[in-house]
Amino acid sequence: MNAEKQPVAHNVDHHEIAKFEAVASRWWDLEGEFKTLHRINPLRLGYIAERSGGLFGKKVLDVGCGGGILAESMAREGATVTGLDMGFEPLQVAKLHALESGVQVEYVQETVEEHAAKHAGQYDVVTCMEMLEHVPDPQSVVHACARLVKPGGQVFFSTINRNGKAWLMAVVGAEYVMKMVPKGTHDVKKFIKPAELIGWVDQDYSERAAYHRPALQSADQYLQAGAGRRC
């Protein structure tokens, strides 16, 4: 990766960034590596909109936005959306697709910790989907999201449970058998148990904001939602 494209930052796994840089050009291919994200996105969007009392007129931050699948859909609901990612190529894809689609989203290349230092308490809704398992210190991300949301705001996390069933479904099934995501996308050692995530959340959110477990709480539900709409 070009050094000018990648700012120096903490809590970044450059190997993880490189994996998504390599497939960024296919982010909006509905039958490509990210087809599962496309297929579950309507369900995910509906859940977020329902739990947050609608997105229209709200200021929303999508942490780890990648190529902008969720960010764009929230903007279409009338939200003012900012997408954060440390991958240069995915952000370029996201910006181009938003331009072509006539959707306004602000995309920023910086870590959530850096963003929290400048924009604390500014967002009505913060989403962080399938990002925690790709950083060295996921607890730091949870803490930063707590700083970014307004008092009484909503924070949504989605990640993969660290157990045998999740490994079987998210790694063996999704990467090697069904080929729903690129091989090497997931590292089971970085998966996060619900108790761990809840413990981090309890430290930061008890009085500041509401948080929600995702509509798709386990790997098997996640994959069924992605595969169930095949034609």
Residues contributing to the annotated binding site for S-adenosyl-L-methionine: 44, 64, 85, 129
Phi, psi of 227 (to 5 degrees): -90, -20
Distance CA 209, CA 83 (A): 20
| 105-108 sheet: strands from edge to edge | 105-108, 80-84, 59-63, 123-129, 149-158, 210-212
For 176, which DSSP code? I
Measured CA to CA, the distance from residue 185 to residue 174 in angstroms comes to 10
Q: Give the residue carrying structure tokens 């910790």.
A: 113
H helices, E strands: number in the chain? 9, 6
Adjacent-strand bridge partners of 129? 158
| 76 half-sphere exposure, CB direction, 13 A CA radius | 13
Instruction: Please enumerate, by residue number, every residue annotated as part of a binding site.
Output: 44, 64, 85, 129
Q: Concatenate the DSSP letters of all residues of 116-172 into one string.
A: HHHHTT-EEEEEEES-GGGSS-HHHHHHHHHHHEEEEEEEEEE----SHHHIIIIII
Q: How many CB atoms lie within 10 A of CB 212?
A: 15
